[in-house]
Structure 1
Amino acid sequence: MKIIHVITTLTYGGAEAVLYRLCSSDRLNTHIVVSLMDEGIYAFGPSLQKVGIAVHYLNMPRSRVTISGVIKLFRLIRNLKPDVVQTWMYHADLIGGIVAKLAGVKQIYWNIRNSTLELGKSKYSTIMVLKLCAKLSGFLPKGIVCCAYKAKEVHATLGYDAKKMFIISNGYDLSIFKESPDLGRKFREELNLAEDTRLLGMVGRFDPQKDHFGLLEALNLVKQAGFEFRLCLVGDDLNVGNIKLIEKIKELDLIEEIILLDRRSDIPVVMNGLDIHLLSSAYGEAFPNVVAEAMACGTPCVTTDVGDAALIVGDTGWVVPPANAARFAEGIAMALKECGGDPDSWQTRREAARTRVIENFGLEKMITAYHAVWRGEGV
């Protein structure tokens, strides 16, 4: 089949990473990707093109629809005559879905990547688009892919047509995300850390959704309890230029413990260097990639109970309530105690974390599920 994917943007993010893995690894179908926005920086566009995927940009400004962009998308769809149009994220679901319908495409599938949106935290325009999509969900798309059970549950209560929803969990290339002591040593040498230093980490951009300040408050409690550790923060704006973050780190007496690494592309290296990965998100997650990526590298996780994080972790890590620094600190302390205890017990936990990803979230399983949806078979 010929599949046109319409996505809001191709900047580095969870949905964009899944789209890249799907298109670059699916050998049975032809994939074409259309971004509503421009090429941007730190984006997946060049990576897609490098593996032979055609990429088109509509050059719409963020959160704005242009007539020229809509016309370009309509012409692309009419000229390329796809068997399926698969859209990704709310704005692309709305715009891509309507234009594909007008262009005569019958096989239109949406893709929901969020679990919750909150007024005052999420953009008002995004919430309005979500509400409009809910009204159109009964007749515009043939099916709706949700990356998480929580996403399906929440969107059904918001008015989406639950009968059209399918769950396809994210899938991971386990030849890339795997245990590698050599990569772990390389990362620790880069940070000039001793082998016995307990290294925590969190990969995720600086954003209220990720609740980095709550993370720091929890770590302050962990430090007060007498634990020694280092924490590396990886993601956009996690650098010394972030004045608010630096002030919070100083306020909580964590200057010696925190290592700011900003954006990095070598996430398997980072995950292998960590003893424990943390996710402090307060809301908005659906299927947090970083949790599964860490586990695939044999790194146990302490995560807040957001989206499908608890489902991913199972009994291989620790799950605590969101936006609760005291409970998060308890989870981190429990993980640090076990990490510093019996080596065999800790190795068993590491192996269990990777095995859970292998058995439930492999890349081929995700690709096969998309094939079934596109053939109209569901999953």
Structure 2
Amino acid sequence: MIRILHIITTLEHGGAEKNLISISSNLDKNEFNQSIISLTTSSKKYSDIAELNNVQLINLNINNFITALVGIYKICKFLNQYKPHIVQTWLYHADILGLIIKILYKKYKVIWNIRCSHLAVSDISYTTRIIRYILSVRSQKVDGIIFNSKAGLVEHRKLGMFNENSHIIPNGFNLEEFKADKKIREKIREGLQINQDVFVCGMVARYDPLKNHDHFIRAAALLNKIYGKKIIFLLIGVNINWNNKKLVNSINHENLKDKFHLLGQRNDINDILKIIDCLVLTSITEGFPNVIGEAMASEVPCVSTCVGDVVSIMGNRKNIIKINDVADLVSKVNDIINLSTDEKLELGVNLRKRIENNFSIVSTMKKYRMMYSNV
């Protein structure tokens, strides 16, 4: 049996976290024994999933220099006890730790998992820039690198990050978890006091300048002028609430307070997607945005900026828009609104079929299994 130790910066909410939990839950337990170390904390949801799947989860709660030293001691102690065949690290800060482990414990196979593609210096901290530089110049020291997007691999190679055992393994989606369901759709809409026949245009993203919520809000203002009571707007994610002054000011500036539902961070995204009629992504940068695949699996049409591997996920450029092009976004959403009932049903079936054929959790697990078995 192959023992794998996953080390991740945090196991709260995010694409990398979701992907790690999915892998640790779905890989064959007769073939792989997996443990997870979170350098900081873990959400209750992911802690419960790990426990349910007999995956040992350790939270180091590192938040200062002293706790960092204690955390390093605990990692070394666990390595000596668990004796993993593979150490899989996730995200830059954990990857630098993986490099240190490889230097100190040459017998362990170390694989990095790189999740981002946007590399603009202005958008990352000085510490992260230093870590990224070290990772790039020492990338041949580790036993392999997994990128979750082609965009991520290309951009990191420009920085000099090269390893002969590099692979692109896209995120996989659980088709049982993400699917259309009319009864759940009606129930959640009723709970949120949203009329069943209203068109819901939604965006799932934490509040962050790189997610570019203002683009969505400006487009919402124009769509509201066209459709009035026939359309509402939904925002979901970390720091998406009425206490967020910047976000609320942007909404109020367009006189849209009564047209927006701010749902904050949710653990039931799979159900929330069922009430959305069009999923919008206005990001300035992405690697492999999970929400696009999740929406498509749920038969929800998507409109997105051309970032990361979005075109690869969606399969064409029909609903791809330019960053900050409000008119283009309005036009694409308008096209979806004006589809006939039969056209919407056919589109939904085709969207789900694309995810099933290209990005299912089953195909992703096969690629991870091959990587772990052959490293």
* TM-score of the two chains, using structure 1 as the length reference: 0.93
The Cα of 1:12 is off from its aligned counterpart by 1.0
More deviation, 357-366/319-328? 319-328
Q: Deviations over 1:20-52 (max 9, x none)?
A: 01101112311100111134x556234312321
The Cα of 1:152 is off from its aligned counterpart by 0.7
The alignment covers a number of residue pairs equal to: 371
User: Counterpart of 1:351?
Assistant: 349
Distance 1:18 1:212, change over 3 A: same
User: Counterpart of 2:238?
Assistant: 236
Instruction: Give the distance between the partners of 1:357 and 1:63, measured in 2 at CA.
Output: 44
Q: State the one-letter code of the partner of 1:58.
A: L
Distance 1:173 1:135, change over 3 A: same
Instruction: Give the distance between the partners of 1:254 and 1:282, measured in 2 at CA.
Output: 23
Q: State the one-letter code of the partner of 1:354.
A: R
Contact 1:74 1:100 in 2 (8 A): no
Q: 1:66 aligns with which of 65, 68, 74?
A: 68
The Cα of 1:231 is off from its aligned counterpart by 1.0
User: Counterpart of 1:29?
Assistant: 32
The Cα of 1:65 is off from its aligned counterpart by 8.2
Q: Deviations over 1:326-366 (max 9, x none)?
A: 3222222222222xxx2111111111110010001111111
Instruction: Give the distance between the partners of 2:223 and 2:208, measured in 1 at CA.
Output: 23
Q: State the one-letter code of the partner of 1:156.
A: R
Instruction: Give the distance between the partners of 2:348 and 2:106, measured in 1 at CA.
Output: 50
Contact 2:119 2:155 in 1 (8 A): no
SS at match of 1:175: coil
Contact 1:85 1:107 in 2 (8 A): yes
User: Counterpart of 1:167?
Assistant: 168
Give the alignment of 1:1-379 within 5 angstroms: 1-27=2-28, 28-39=31-42, 41=43, 44-61=46-63, 66-139=68-141, 141-161=142-162, 163-226=164-227, 228-283=230-285, 285-315=286-316, 318-338=319-339, 342-376=340-374
Instruction: Give the distance between the partners of 1:261 and 1:351, measured in 2 at CA.
Output: 27
Instruction: Give the distance between the partners of 1:159 and 1:178, measured in 2 at CA.
Output: 40
Distance 1:62 1:305, change over 3 A: farther
Instruction: Give the distance between the partners of 1:260 and 1:293, measured in 2 at CA.
Output: 20
SS at match of 1:2: strand
RMSD: 2.0
The Cα of 1:263 is off from its aligned counterpart by 1.2
The Cα of 1:236 is off from its aligned counterpart by 1.3
Indicate the percent of aligned positions where both proteins have the same amino acid.
29
More deviation, 186-195/367-376? 186-195
Q: State the one-letter code of the partner of 1:269.
A: D
Contact 1:114 1:286 in 2 (8 A): yes
Q: State the one-letter code of the partner of 1:310.
A: V
More deviation, 244-253/44-53? 44-53
Q: State the one-letter code of the partner of 2:23.
A: L
The Cα of 1:226 is off from its aligned counterpart by 4.7
More deviation, 345-354/156-165? 156-165
Instruction: Give the distance between the partners of 1:3 and 1:264, measured in 2 at CA.
Output: 30
Q: State the one-letter code of the partner of 1:81.
A: K
Contact 1:70 1:99 in 2 (8 A): no
SS at match of 2:262: strand
Instruction: Give the distance between the partners of 2:168 and 2:66, measured in 1 at CA.
Output: 29
Specify every segment of 5 or more residues in structure 2 that has no aligned partner in the other structure, as ranges. none
More deviation, 227-236/147-156? 227-236
The Cα of 1:286 is off from its aligned counterpart by 0.6
Q: State the one-letter code of the partner of 1:278.
A: V
The Cα of 1:193 is off from its aligned counterpart by 2.1
Q: State the one-letter code of the partner of 1:218.
A: A
Instruction: Give the distance between the partners of 2:289 and 2:347, measured in 1 at CA.
Output: 20
The Cα of 1:287 is off from its aligned counterpart by 0.6
Contact 2:149 2:168 in 1 (8 A): yes
Distance 1:65 1:160, change over 3 A: farther
Q: State the one-letter code of the partner of 1:236.
A: V
Instruction: Give the distance between the partners of 2:165 and 2:176, measured in 1 at CA.
Output: 33
More deviation, 124-133/289-298? 124-133
Q: State the one-letter code of the partner of 2:82.
A: L
More deviation, 257-266/213-222? 213-222
More deviation, 192-201/42-51? 42-51
The Cα of 1:113 is off from its aligned counterpart by 0.5
The Cα of 1:78 is off from its aligned counterpart by 2.0
**Higher fraction of helix:** 2
Q: State the one-letter code of the partner of 1:258.
A: F
* TM-score of the two chains, using structure 2 as the length reference: 0.93
Distance 1:162 1:214, change over 3 A: farther
Q: Deviations over 1:234-290 (max 9, x none)?
A: 11111111121111111012222211111111111111111111111112x111001
Instruction: Give the distance between the partners of 2:292 and 2:134, measured in 1 at CA.
Output: 31
Instruction: Give the distance between the partners of 1:236 and 1:219, measured in 2 at CA.
Output: 20
The Cα of 1:93 is off from its aligned counterpart by 0.6
